[in-house]
Amino acid sequence: MAPPSSRRSSGFSKRAQYSVFTGYVLAALGALLGLALLALSLWQPPALAPLRGGANDVVAPIGEGTATVRSTSNGVWQTVSAFWYAGRQNAALREEVEIARIRLEEAASVAQENERLKSLVALSESEIEPVAVARLIGSTSTSSRRFAYVGKGRNDGIEIGMPVRSPRGVVGRVLEVARNSARILLLTDTESVLPVRRSTDETVAFAEGRGDGLLRIRLINLGLNPLQIGDVFVTSGAGGFYRPGVAVAVLSELTPDGGIARLVADPSATDFVSIEPIYEERALDAALVSSETTLEDAENAN
């Protein structure tokens, strides 16, 4: 049985009555303060970011430790389950390897042809150098927002808006940066919108997070829905931030205006993520010249 009361009945003691009253007043003032801060941070999200960033800087080293443990325990579990399924898997893999060897030959010829065509158009292969490679050290696992944290920040050259990807595909983008930690808006957050296109053609769409681990694919050109279950979506590069051609999601369900898709890169399964520089579409300089002046005039003016 719980003790009778916190107040032990203030009775006729004026002092006890006042202290109870003061408690209520302070708590109500605290609630009002919270309301004001909440309104401020909903209205101006970056306003209190330094506070959060400082706190996360302090916690980041602990997160690095637990992240290491997490990836190790993942590995142990995978080893155990692999042992369990070894026999069945062996037969299936043998079959797969046979097919893969054939495909490899085909791929080699395609690669050669690709090389030749590229040399024809003088296109050099440009591999993007990531700004930083880091572990995901934690996430907001109690909130309905989906953020993750990495243990690298401004000191490593990370800036707001940089895309974050794992070897499999896009994970999200940097939302807030502190000295030694950064907050990432994951694709599954309801506020995350990413321009994508179907990998096989130029069907463009938006991939929006639903907040429950799935993405909603919304076609930009409404009409007949050309999508099919199993379609892979990649970033289109439209609007900048993400460079084009990185895998995002696989369609798993059709809806009238697009579909529901699963993530290709599950952040909990990835060990390291790379933070890449912001992709900027190179706009044609000619498009900046207003139509009243001719291009020759504009060139002479420069």
Partner 1 sequence: MKDALGSPQLRSANRFSGGINRTVAPWRANTVPYISILFGSLVPILILAPTMPLLPPLGFMMLLGWRIMRPGFLPLWVGVPLGAFDDLFSGQPFGSAILLWSVCMIALEIIETRFPWRGFWQDWFTAGLALVAYILAAMVVSGATLTSHLLFAAIPQIILAILLYPLAARVIAWLDRYRLARARRVE
Q: Are 97 and 26 in contact (CB under 8 A)?
A: no
CB distance 215 to 260 below 8 Å: yes
**Closest to partner 1 by CB, 158 or 265:** 265
Binding segment for partner 1 (CB under 8 A), chosen from 66-74, 95-103, 228-236, 286-294, is: 66-74
Q: Which of 169, 258, 259, 267 is in the footprint of partner 1 by CB under 8 A?
A: 267
- Smallest distance, partner 1 to C-beta of residue 196, A: 19
- Number of DSSP helices (H) and strands (E) in the chain, helices first: 4, 12
Binding part of the chain for partner 1, among 31-39, 79-87, 98-106, 118-126 by CB under 8 A, reads 31-39
Stretch that binds partner 1, among 110-118, 146-154, 247-255, 278-286 (CB under 8 A): 146-154
> x/- contact string, 207-236, with partner 1 (CB under 8 A)?
---xxxxx----------------------
Query: Burial level of 173, CB count in 10 A (0-12/13-18/19+)?
Result: buried
Q: What's the closest the beta carbon of residue 259 comes to partner 1, in angstroms?
A: 14
Does 142 contact partner 1 by CB under 8 A?
yes
Give the DSSP letter string of 102-160: HHHHHHHHHHHHHHHHHHHHTPPP-PPPPSEEEEEEEE-SSSSS-EEEES--GGGT--T
Question: Which contiguous run of DSSP H or E holds residue 52?
Answer: helix 49-84
Per CB under 8 A, the segment of 26-34, 98-106, 113-121, 126-134 that binds partner 1 is 26-34
CB of 57 to partner 1, least distance (A): 11
| Minimum separation from the CB atom of position 12 to partner 1 (A) | 17
Contacts of 165 (CB under 8 A, 6+ apart): 171, 246, 265, 273, 274, 276
Least Cα distance to 49 among 154, 176, 140, 197 occurs for 176
Minimal distance, residue 276 CB to partner 1, in Å: 19
In a 10 Å sphere around its CB, with 0-12 CB exposed, 13-18 middle and 19+ buried, how is residue 279 labelled? middle
- Cβ pair 244, 237 in contact under 8 A: yes
**Using rule CB under 8 A, residue 143 touches partner 1:** yes
CA angle, corner 101, sides to 98 and 103, nearest 5? 110
Minimum CB–partner distance for residue 114 and partner 1 (Å): 35
In the set 13, 17, 35, 89, which binds partner 1 (CB under 8 A)?
A: 35
Q: Quick check: 57 and 180 in contact, CB under 8 A?
A: yes
Contact 278, 137 (CB under 8 A): no
Output the smallest distance, CB 269 to partner 1, in A: 9
Q: Does residue 162 interact with partner 1 by CB under 8 A?
A: no
**Minimum CB distance to partner 1, residue 97 (Å):** 33
Binding site for partner 1 (CB under 8 A): 1-8, 23-24, 26-31, 33-42, 45, 48, 51-52, 55-56, 59, 62-63, 66-67, 70, 136-149, 186, 188-191, 210-214, 266-268
